[in-house]
Amino acid sequence: MYIKSLKLLVLALAASLTLSGCGVFGEKGDETRTWSASKLYAEAKDEMSNGAYEKAIQYFEKLESRFPFGTYAQQAQMETAYAYYKQGDQVQALAAVERFIKLHPNHSNVDYMYYLRGLINFNDQLGLLNFLANQDITERDPKASRDSFDAFKQLVTQFPDSQYTPDALSRMKYLVNALARYDVHVARYYVRRGAYLAAANRAQAAITEYPDAPSIEEAMFILVKSYDAMGMTELRDDANRVFLKNFPNSAYLNEGKKNKSFWWKFWS
Tally of CA atoms within 13 A in the half-sphere of 109 that contains its CB: 11
pLDDT at 20: 46
pLDDT < 70 regions, the chain? 1-29, 124-141, 255-268
User: CB neighbours of 196 closer than 8 A, spacing ≥ 6?
Assistant: 190, 226, 227, 229, 230
Confidence (pLDDT) at 218: 95
**pTM (2 decimals)?**
0.71
- Average confidence score pLDDT of the chain: 83
**pLDDT value at residue 233:** 94
- 18-57 pLDDT, tens per residue? 444 444 334 556 788 889 999 999 999 999 999 999 999 9
What domains, with CATH codes, occur in the chain? 43-108 (1.25.40.10)
Q: Render pLDDT for 84-100 as a digit per residue (tens, 0 to 9).
A: 999 999 999 999 999 99
Q: Which burial class, exposed, middle or buried, applies to 45 when counting CB atoms under 10 A from its CB (0-12, 13-18, 19+)?
A: middle
Quick one: pLDDT at residue 133?
A: 43
